[in-house]
Amino acid sequence: MSAIELRNVVKTFGAIRAVDGLDLEVPSGICLGLLGPNGAGKSTTMRLLTGQAIADEGELRVLGYELPRESKEARARMGVVPQLDNLDVDVTVEDNLAVFARLYRVRDVAGAVDRALDIARLRERRKDAVDELSGGMRRRLLLARGLVHDPKLVLLDEPTVGLDPQIRTELWSLIDGLRTRGATILMSTHYIEEAERLADEVAVMTHGKVVARGKPSELITRHAGAETAEVYGPPERLAEVRSQVEAAGLRVRPAGPAIAIVGAEKAQDGLVPEGAVRRAASLEDVFVMLTGEEAE
Partner 1 sequence: MTGLGARAGRRRMRRIEPAALAGVMSRELANFRTFWRATTFSSVLEPTIYLLAFGLGLGATIVDPIDGLDYEEFVGTGMVATAVIFSSALPAMFGTFVKHRFQNTYDAILAAPVDVEELVTAEMLWIGLRAGFYGCFPLLVSFLFGLDPTPAMLLVPIFCFVTALGFAAFGIAMAGTVSKIDQFNYVTTLLVTPLFLVAGTFFPIDRLPEGVQVAANANPLYQLVELVRHTAFGLEPTDILRLLALAAFAFVMWRVAVWRMTTRLID
How far, in Å, CA of 142 to CA of 132, rounded?
Answer: 15
**Type of residue found at 260:** A
Nearer to partner 1, 34 or 98 (CB): 98
Check binding of 139 to partner 1 (CB under 8 A).
no
| Least distance CB 5 / partner 1 (angstroms) | 17
Check binding of 267 to partner 1 (CB under 8 A).
no
- Residue of the chain from 1, 14, 15, 84 that contacts partner 1 (CB under 8 A): 84
Nearest in space to 145 (alpha carbons), one of 158, 160, 155: 155
DSSP 232: -
| Least distance CB 267 / partner 1 (angstroms) | 47
- Residue of the chain from 29, 59, 111, 279 that contacts partner 1 (CB under 8 A): 111
How far, in Å, CA of 139 to CA of 270, rounded?
Answer: 50
How far, in Å, CA of 202 to CA of 187, rounded?
Answer: 9
| Least distance CB 273 / partner 1 (angstroms) | 50
Check binding of 88 to partner 1 (CB under 8 A).
yes
Nearest in space to 138 (alpha carbons), one of 74, 71, 85: 85
Check binding of 108 to partner 1 (CB under 8 A).
yes
- Pairing between strand 2-13 and 227-231? unpaired
User: In b/e form, how buried is each residue of 235-253, taking b as 16+ CB within 10 angstroms?
Assistant: eeebeebbeebeeeebbbb
Judged by CB under 8 A, how many residues of this single chain contact partner 1? Answer: 43
Phi, psi of 257 (to 5 degrees): -80, -5
- Residue of the chain from 20, 23, 70, 296 that contacts partner 1 (CB under 8 A): 70
List strands edge to edge, sheet with 201-206: 78-81, 153-157, 184-189, 31-35, 201-206, 209-214
Stretch that binds partner 1, among 22-30, 80-88, 273-281, 284-292 (CB under 8 A): 80-88
Task: Dump the DSSP string for 207-249.
Answer: TTEEEEEE-HHHHHHHHH-SEEEEE-S-HHHHHHHHHHHHHTT
Q: Cα–Cα–Cα angle for 218, 33, 197, nearest 5°?
A: 75
- Residue of the chain from 10, 91, 161, 163 that contacts partner 1 (CB under 8 A): 91
Give, as ranges, the residues between 10 and 69 that touch partner 1 (CB under 8 A): 11, 13, 44, 47, 50-54
Stretch that binds partner 1, among 105-113, 119-127, 201-209, 258-266 (CB under 8 A): 105-113
Q: Per-residue x/- mask for partner 1, residues 148 to 187, rule CB under 8 A? A: -xxxx-----------------------------------
Query: Considering just the CA atoms, what is the radius of gyration of the chain in Å?
Result: 22
- Residue of the chain from 36, 37, 41, 82 that contacts partner 1 (CB under 8 A): 82
CA dihedral (60, 63, 67, 72) in degrees, to 10, reads -160
Stretch that binds partner 1, among 87-95, 185-193, 210-218, 284-292 (CB under 8 A): 87-95
Which residues are at the interface with partner 1 (CB under 8 A)? 11, 13, 44, 47, 50-54, 70, 72-73, 75-77, 80, 82, 84, 86, 88, 90-92, 95-96, 98-100, 102-108, 111-112, 129, 145, 149-152
